[in-house]
Chain A
Amino acid sequence: MVVRTLPQYPIKKGEPAYKIWIFEPGWKGELPLITNPRQLAEQKRPALLPGHRLCAGCAAPIIVKLASLAFRGPTIVVSATGCIEVATTIFPYTSWAIPWIHNAFENSAATASGIESAIKALKKTGRLPYDHVDVVVFAGDGGTYDIGIQALSGAAERGHDFLYILYDNEAYMNTGIQRSGGTPKFAWTTTSPVGSVIPGKMEHKKPIADIMVAHRIPYVATTTPAHWIDLMKKVRKGIEVNGPAFIHALSPCDRGWRHAENLAIEISRRAVDTCYFPLWEWTPEKGYMLTDRSLSIARNPKLKQPIEKFLELQGRFRHLLKPENRHLLKELQEYVDAMWEDLLNRATNAPK
């Protein structure tokens, strides 16, 4: 048995700098959801440890970290193959301070359903020493949009109680920026190169969150790491509902989106400000509800920015800003506007 030791850093007040989440058998109650940043920094520690080998400036660990700050107790994390899995668990190292399992690219939702059924069986026979054990899936866009959608759809149909968090970096970044079902139209990738024949990818992004809404599961939401309170609240809601929940989080990738490595948060903020990626949540009772910044934009349309604001920071859309490609930019702006109008019509809390 290897003794695991964490590095110690001097702390005057609060929790140690890094800790492994250990819940004694018989642990009861729920961890509180704290949204005061100072209290968070004193009382909570993320489930991801430093030393993971994701690129500098990646937004995926921010999503994992913020989500883990909203966990309510003992949690098991399932990861599909993707950047998170490859970079956090390079043998023999692991970055997870909580139980973690990886199976394959396509069956993260199926693995999560199995774990959830096992927990249910243990609870029934009185062998589970906890009130509740939550199952959370972290999967990338390749493992959700393309390869994993049948497992996800099946798990949603069977109604297993788990939370599926999709961190969407809009291509297969882990294997070298190939297009996926999540890549937006006109984006450069290595398999949809920009040139004289095609202007980047020719198809629109698949509306994965709306596909999950069509399953009528108890909770669906979209979020970005820049709106961190919004993300934490949605993760907590998704864990608390009884049944499958799905959260679509935008995760800027500095290598694949070709932006400076300090801009991940700024780009996700602009994605919401330009209505390219609106923030909403859906429940069967209330329907679509806009949240956070998108609700402000719905109430005051002057806050909506043109799509160039989002594109200008990214090298994968550089060709759209050239004068000869103005018609492409106009087409993209019209598409974003149409999607936003459509969402406004569906949203129950948007001013009519």
Chain B
Amino acid sequence: MVEERLRGWRELPLGAVTYRLSTDYKTGDWRALKPVVNLNKCVKCMLCWIYCPDMAVIWDGEKIVINYDYCKGCGICAQECPVKAIDMVPEYEER
């Protein structure tokens, strides 16, 4: 995402109106542990979709997809999964 030029006071909207969507700001780089879905175990109960605080779980009509652009790696999905189909793996392997 190319950052737009910072605006001067003449161009800013009046009254501190926020004018950009936060989806431009990717929070995925906060993550230390990364959720990985085991689709063979998944029973599609959608509890991860319901409990995800970052709206990072996407239901595409057939399966669960984790959106790593926004996932902060909190692990609530793995904790609440009734069949333990989500594993939290380290984002970077230690060498």
Chain A residues in contact with chain B, CB under 8 A? 2, 4-7, 9-14, 17-18, 37-38, 40-42, 46, 48-62, 65-66, 88-95, 225, 228, 254, 261-266
CB of B21 closer than 8 Å to a CB of A: yes
Total of A-B residue pairs, C-beta within 8 Å: 145
Are A6 and B49 in contact, with the CB atoms below 8 A?
no
Are A93 and B59 in contact, with the CB atoms below 8 A?
no
- Inter-chain pairs besides A14-B59, A228-B51, A262-B75, 7 sampled, C-beta below 8 Å: A9-B60, A37-B47, A50-B22, A225-B51, A262-B76, A265-B51, A265-B79
Q: Mark B1-41, 1 if CB is under 8 A from A, else 0.
A: 00000000000000010111111111100110000000000
CB of B83 closer than 8 Å to a CB of A: no
Chain B residues in contact with chain A, CB under 8 A? 16, 18-27, 30-31, 44-47, 49-56, 58-62, 65, 67, 69-70, 72-76, 78-80, 88
A136→B59 CA distance, assembly (Å): 27
The minimal Cβ–Cβ distance linking B87 to chain A, given in whole angstroms, is 12
Among B21, B56, B72, point to the contact of A6 (Cβ < 8 A): B21
Nearest A-chain residue to B80, judged by Cβ:
A265
The minimal Cβ–Cβ distance linking A115 to chain B, given in whole angstroms, is 15
Among B23, B26, B44, B49, point to the contact of A49 (Cβ < 8 A): B23
Are B51 and A50 in contact, with the CB atoms below 8 A?
no
Given A7-B69, A11-B58, A17-B58, the answer on whether A62 and B25 have CB atoms closer than 8 Å is: no
Nearest B-chain residue to A64, judged by Cβ:
B53
Among B20, B62, B75, B88, point to the contact of A4 (Cβ < 8 A): B20
